[in-house]
Amino acid sequence: MTAPERITVDLGGRSYDVVVGSGLVDDAGRHLGPLLRQPRAIVVTDETVGALYGDRLETALARAAIDGSTIVVPSGERTKDLDHLERLVEDLLDRRIERSTTVIALGGGVVGDLAGFAASIVLRGVDFVQVPTTLLAQVDSSVGGKTGINTRHGKNLVGAFHQPRCVLADTGVLDTLPRRELLAGYAEVVKYGLIDDPEFFDWLCDHGPDVLAGDQRARCHAIATSCRAKARIVAADEREAGQRALLNLGHTFAHALEADAGYGGSLLHGEAVAIGMVMACDLSVRRGHCPPEDLTRLRRHLSAVGLPTEPTSPRGKAGLSALIDHMRNDKKVVGGRVAFVLVNGIGKAFLARDVDLAEVEALLAGAAAA
C-alpha cells in the first residue's frame, strides 16, 4: 500500500482535505477522529454499497471509539427526490442527531448529494464527510460542496452549497464497481485533461487502460490529479460565477442527451458526457477554434477505452433534432442564450457566450444525417 495523496480544497475557514488512496475505508477512524466535533457519526449509504462496505466502515469507526450507526437508502437516481429527503431527515432526527454529530455519506453521487443536502438543512446544518465509492463521485461530485435532489421539473433543481469537512476517496472500493459505471466516471477524468491539462490528457492516453484495469497507483494518480483540478477551480470560484462553469465542458449536450434518453439507465451521465465532449470539440472545430487533429485524438481515446462518442437517441433522427429544445430548457441558460464551454484545443477550454443555437442545430442535423 502506498501513502495516500492529500489535496486541500482551499476555502479559508471552510478548507478541507481530499484524501486519495487504497484502504481508506478501513482507515476512516484514524482520518476522521481528529476532525469530528463529537465522537459520533451517522453513516448514510445505499443498499448496494451498504452491503459491501457498511460493516467495514462501522468497524473502522468503532476502532477509533467513534459511535457510528447506519441509515440505508435504496440504490439509484430515484432516491434523490423530496420523498427520500423527507424520510432521511426524519430518520436523522429519530436518531437524535445533534448539532455536533457528523453525517458520513458512503456511496456514489446519489448518496453524496442526498445525504449532503440533508446535512445542510437538518438542525440548520451539521458537519458532513464524503466517502465516495464510484469513480464519478471520487473525481467530481464529492468535491466542491454542491448537494441536492431532483424534482419533477428536472435534475438537481433543489439543493444547497454545503462543503464537506473531509473527503476519503478509497481507490480499492472501485474494484466492485460495475465496469460500465467505472467507464462513465472515467469520462469526467478525461474532462479535466481537456479543460486545462494537456499533459494529463497525454498521460491518460498511455495509462487510461491501467486506471480502468485496477492498477491502484495509476488510479490514485488519475483521481488525485482530477481532484486537484476540481479543487483549484472550486477554490477560485466556489459559487460558479465564472471559472467553475468550465467544469460543464460537454455537459450542455450531455444533459440534453440524458433528458432525451429519459434517465432510465440506457445512457449513464458519464456516457452522455463522453459524447457531449466530442460534440463540444466538434463545434469548436467547425467554428475554427480547435485543430481537427485534437478532435480525432479525443474521439480515438474515448473509443479505445470503450466510451461512446456519437450522439444517439431512442427516437432516432427525430430525437437528435429535438435535443435543441432540451438545451433551451437547461438550467444554465441565461436570458435565453446558451453558454457553451468550447476548446481551442486539448487542454484549452473557454466559455463561449456567443454561440447561436442555429450552429448547434446544424451540428445535430449533421449527426442525424450520418
Binding residues for ligand NAD, per CB under 6 A? 46, 48-49, 52, 75-77, 80, 107-111, 113, 133-134, 136-137, 140-141, 144, 146, 155-156, 173, 176-177, 181, 269
Catalytic-role residue among 191, 255, 299, 326: 255
- Terminal-to-terminal C-alpha distance of the chain: 49
153 in active site? no
- Nearest approach in angstroms of CB 184 to ligand NAD is 6
**d(Cα 36, Cα 101) in Å, to the nearest integer?**
8
Catalytic-role residue among 240, 287, 297, 317: 240
Residue with Cβ nearer ligand NAD (155 or 317): 155
**Other CB atoms closer than 10 Å to residue 286's CB: what's the count?**
15
240 in active site? yes
- Nearest approach in angstroms of CB 58 to ligand NAD is 16
In which residue are the cell numbers 427516437 written? 315
Catalytic-role residue among 40, 80, 146, 221: 146
Residue with Cβ nearer ligand NAD (133 or 309): 133
Catalytic-role residue among 269, 299, 301, 326: 269
124 in active site? yes
Residue with Cβ nearer ligand NAD (52 or 158): 52
Catalytic-role residue among 248, 258, 271, 326: 248
What does the DSSP assignment read for 234-267?
HHH-TT-SSGGGGGGTTHHHHHHHHHHHTSSSSS
Residue with Cβ nearer ligand NAD (155 or 232): 155
**d(Cα 203, Cα 193) in Å, to the nearest integer?**
9
The kind and range of the H/E element at 217 are: helix 216-236
- Cα–Cα nearest to 338, from 365, 363, 315: 363
- Nearest approach in angstroms of CB 345 to ligand NAD is 25
Residue with Cβ nearer ligand NAD (176 or 344): 176
- Nearest approach in angstroms of CB 148 to ligand NAD is 7
**d(Cα 149, Cα 79) in Å, to the nearest integer?**
9
Distance set, CA 350 to CA 29, 147, 195, 246, 291 (Å): 41, 25, 8, 7, 15
Residue with Cβ nearer ligand NAD (210 or 240): 240
Catalytic-role residue among 188, 238, 258, 271: 188
269 in active site? yes
188 in active site? yes
- Nearest approach in angstroms of CB 333 to ligand NAD is 18
- Cα–Cα nearest to 117, from 79, 174, 74: 79
The kind and range of the H/E element at 46 are: strand 40-46
Distance set, CA 47 to CA 106, 110, 193, 302 (Å): 11, 12, 33, 31
Buried b (16+ CB within 10 A) or exposed e, 258-277: bbbbebeeebbbbbbbbbbb
251 in active site? yes
- Nearest approach in angstroms of CB 360 to ligand NAD is 23
Catalytic residues: 124, 146, 188, 230, 240, 244, 248, 251, 255, 269
